[in-house]
Amino acid sequence: MSNQLKTGLLLGLLTALILIFGQVLGGNGGLVIAFLLAIGMNVGSYWFSDRLVLRMYKASEVSPSEAPKLHEIVDELSQQAGIPKPRVFIIPEKSPNAFATGRNPHHGVVAVTQGILDILSKEELKGVLGHELGHIRNRDILIQTVAATLAGVIMFISTMVRWAAIFGMGGGDDEGGNPIVAIVLSIIAPLAALFIQMAISRSREYLADQAGAKFAGNPDYLAGALEKMDAYSRKIPMRKGDQSTAHMFIVNPFRGKNLANLFSTHPPIQERISRLRAM
């Protein structure tokens, strides 16, 4: 199954969860409120996320004269990808990593840490930047926003259902509903939404890996870069930032040695490397 098809099916699952909850809630009023709140929050995130995350990581935009090699690679890859050249930023962090943001290809941004510039060869850097331009070309920021909106609706409705069940107001129109079933659903549905969101994020990472290998001209470039970044990021984790932005980076910048890895938005590095080597 292609990653594009998988993303569509997963977004469909999120929508189905919302419809099921609508039945449990016994009315459309809660759905409308939830949609309006979730859309409001995520549209704001969609339009302003680039500024917010760049400010969070103290990223500075660099000109071609300040970072000629970096701009040369981005310019070449942009032509390969058939998109406008994104703005280029450097994050003052030793941990090797990179991310892309921007609401569409005409407002694209790529940001790399100083650490990644220190350890990667030109070819490996091409693989990483090709991956990030893949995210921009595939409009992954939009897809992630849609997924976040749907998941946000489910979280909101879960809370409504839980309170309605506790106070005896839940259920369908005909049978009055079972408050225990409603409470169980209100616990299970958000977890399901979270796992679906993670699955969408992982499928987009695989898709960006494929794009990065294509734009850079050799899948070994990105595979080698991932191996280096995986080893270094374990020793030098990101000092600042927030877990909510982890999905934006090419490798998880906040490594944990606990059950939190179960909720990782990134596919296993070795699996990504194996897929690239097999290309």
Catalytic residue among 61, 72, 93, 132, which?
Answer: 132
Amino acid identity of residue 227, one-letter, is E
| Interior angle at CA 201, CA 218 and CA 7, nearest 5 | 90
DSSP labels for 197-220?
Answer: HHHHHHHHHHHHHHHHHHHHT-HH
- Short-list 34, 14, 27, 29, CA closest to 158: 34
Spell out the residues 6+ positions from residue 50 whose beta carbon is closer than 8 angstroms to its own: 101, 102, 103, 107, 109
CA distances from 79 to 27, 36, 82, 118 (A): 51, 39, 5, 25
Q: What per-residue string of b and e applies to 209-243 under the rule 16 or more CB within 10 Å gives b?
A: bbbbbebbebbbbbbbbbebbbebbeebbbeebee
Partners of residue 109 on adjacent β-strands:
87, 101
Query: Is 132 designated active site?
Result: yes
Q: Which two tokens stand for residue 114?
A: 């100083």
* Alpha-carbon span 222 to 278, nearest angstrom: 13
Amino acid identity of residue 155, one-letter, is M
SS3 for 84-132 is: CCCEEEEECCCCCCEEEECCCHHHCEEEEEHHHHHHCCHHHHHHHHHHH
Residues involved in catalysis:
132
